Amino acid sequence: MTLDFTTLYVVILLNSIGIAVVWAGVAISYPKLVAARFWLGALICTSFGGIMLYIEAAESARFWTFLGIAAIGLGYSLIWQGVQVFLGRSARWPMAMGYMVACVFVLALAGDTRAGQNVVFSAIQIPPMIFSALALRSEKSFGLGTLVALAAAGIALFGQSVEVVTNLMRIAGALSDEGYYAFAAWLLMATIIGTSTLNFGFLLMAIDQLNSELAALATRDDLTGLLNRRGMRERSALIAKRAKRQGEKVCVVMIDLDGLKVINDTHGHGAGDACLVHVARLAKGLLRPADVLARLGGDEFAVLLPVHEVGAAERFAEALAGAVSSTPAVHLGSVIETSVSVGLSVWDPASGKPLSDHLQDADTALYETKRSGRNGYSVFDPERGAPATSPT
């Protein structure tokens, strides 16, 4: 069974155009997904290069060959640069343009033989594909899209590598033209399938990233960038599970910005927002990486301190209250004095109570701080069911 090359070329062109339309839609709909523009550009370049090579085959003019190879070299380099950008790295434009020039130079050295040109045509696709696969492989965790892209790159590399080897065998006289053309179309099919599936892998990667961003938006507070109530609930479930497994205590802290309504009424809501951001920044600066800080809404924050005894939590509360009261917030040139009221509670997994109950206990201690004059902290006493200490 043989495959018709002309039909395959048409399939490649139509396939590239179809996928390019998809990437154009993605690039327009999601402008922050910069990698989509690179992958769209790659398809445009390779499609243009394919048309140039088709014209060259019909007119036997080497100008079209050079133009086609340059476009294809740039296209595959853009695939690599798109992967770099997607992974949060910088695009290397000089390298991309330099690679395009190198492809034309290598083609000039290959001579006029079809076998030599085939070697160049296949070889120029290999380095960017390898670099793309290595970049994807360097990631610590793989999603489905990354796995599909890596598998697709492997298929494409197989087809391109065998194409290079068989054409070198033709040049050396170890393989006849008839023997080569008996399976050459199948190698081209491997490249078509590999590059098409590679784009589907990229699409899945983009979907994974967009889903992650949506999940982050659903669990993050827009103003402070901290976890919101939903995010705190999800993290507290994980912390509770770990604490139960290891028998560790967790300190729960509730924080309230004192007088937020007065600040809003006096200085405007922008000033109130600035004070909330100010408190969030100070609190975050006092925490360890394992600690969890969230804004539950309005003027209320919550903190979870895993593997903390109450003494350490008290030191955090005292340090936070002192930092907020001694470091005024600044908004549009206005200096705004602020303070916080803090409530503490300690959750022991052995108690049998859920961790969420201790948020309420800490909240009870917080309101005791407010009743006692604000700008301090109180600790909830589980024996008395009420705060055991007064604010500092």
The DSSP secondary structure of 62-89, one letter per residue, reads HHHHHHHHHHHHHHHHHHHHHHHHHTTP
Residue 106 and residue 242 share a domain: no
Residue 250 and residue 319 share a domain: yes
If DSSP codes are grouped into helix, strand and coil, which group holds residue 333?
coil
Would you put residue 60 in left (φ > 0), alpha (ψ -120 to 50) or beta? left
More confident position, 195 or 59? 195
More confident position, 140 or 99? 99
The rounded distance, in Å, linking the Cα atoms of 177 and 259 is 86
pLDDT at res. 199: 93
Domain end, chosen from 219, 247, 267, is at 219
Q: Is the pLDDT of residue 385 over 60?
A: no
- Pairing assessment for the beta strands 340-347 and 292-297 based on DSSP bridges: unpaired
For residue 257, the surrounding DSSP H or E stretch is strand 250-257
The pLDDT tens digits for 340-361 are 999 999 888 888 888 888 888 9
Give a yes or no: residue 191 inside a domain.
yes
Residue 322 banded pLDDT, cuts 50, 70, 90 = very high
Residue 245 and residue 195 share a domain: no
Mean pLDDT of 120-127: 88
**Residue 371: half-sphere exposure toward Cβ, Cα within 13 Å:** 11
Residue 293 buriedness (CB in 10 A; 0-12 / 13-18 / 19+): buried
Residue 196 and residue 328 share a domain: no
Residue 101 and residue 233 share a domain: no
The pLDDT tens digits for 224-270 are 999 999 999 989 999 999 888 888 889 999 999 999 999 999 999 99
Give a yes or no: residue 224 inside a domain.
no
Residue 205 and residue 320 share a domain: no
The rounded distance, in Å, linking the Cα atoms of 110 and 113 is 8
If DSSP codes are grouped into helix, strand and coil, which group holds residue 380?
strand
Residue 200 and residue 56 share a domain: yes
The pLDDT tens digits for 197-215 are 999 999 999 998 888 888 7
For helices 114-123 and 93-110, angle between their N-to-C axes, nearest 10 degrees: 160
Residue 76 and residue 181 share a domain: yes
Structural domain count, the chain: 2
Residue 314 and residue 165 share a domain: no
Q: What percent of the chain has pLDDT over 90?
A: 48
Q: What are phi and psi of 227, to 5 degrees?
A: -60, 150
pLDDT at res. 383: 63
Mean pLDDT of 131-135: 94
Domain end, chosen from 219, 243, 276, is at 219
Q: In CATH, what number is assigned to the domain containing residue 78?
A: 1.20.1070
The 8 Å CB, 24+ separation contacts for 330-335 are 330/274, 331/267, 331/270, 331/271, 331/274, 331/275, 332/270, 332/271, 334/267, 334/271
pLDDT at res. 282: 95
Residue 365 and residue 237 share a domain: yes
Give a yes or no: residue 312 inside a domain.
yes
- Domain range holding 96? 5-219
For residue 302, the surrounding DSSP H or E stretch is strand 300-306
Residue 214 and residue 74 share a domain: yes
The answer to whether 242 and 231 are in contact (CB under 8 A) is: no
Give a yes or no: residue 392 inside a domain.
no
In the numeric block, the tokens 């901290």 are attached to: 226
Domain end, chosen from 184, 219, 254, is at 219
pLDDT at res. 1: 45
Q: In CATH, what number is assigned to the domain containing residue 273?
A: 3.30.70.270
Q: Is the pLDDT of residue 319 over 80?
A: yes
- One-letter amino acid for residue 284 of the chain: K
Give a yes or no: residue 381 inside a domain.
yes
Residue 236 and residue 103 share a domain: no
pLDDT at res. 223: 93
pLDDT at res. 59: 65
pLDDT at res. 98: 87
String of b and e for 103-123 (b: at least 16 CB within 10 Å)? bbebbeebeeeebbbbbbbbb
If DSSP codes are grouped into helix, strand and coil, which group holds residue 226?
coil
Q: Is the pLDDT of residue 84 over 90?
A: yes
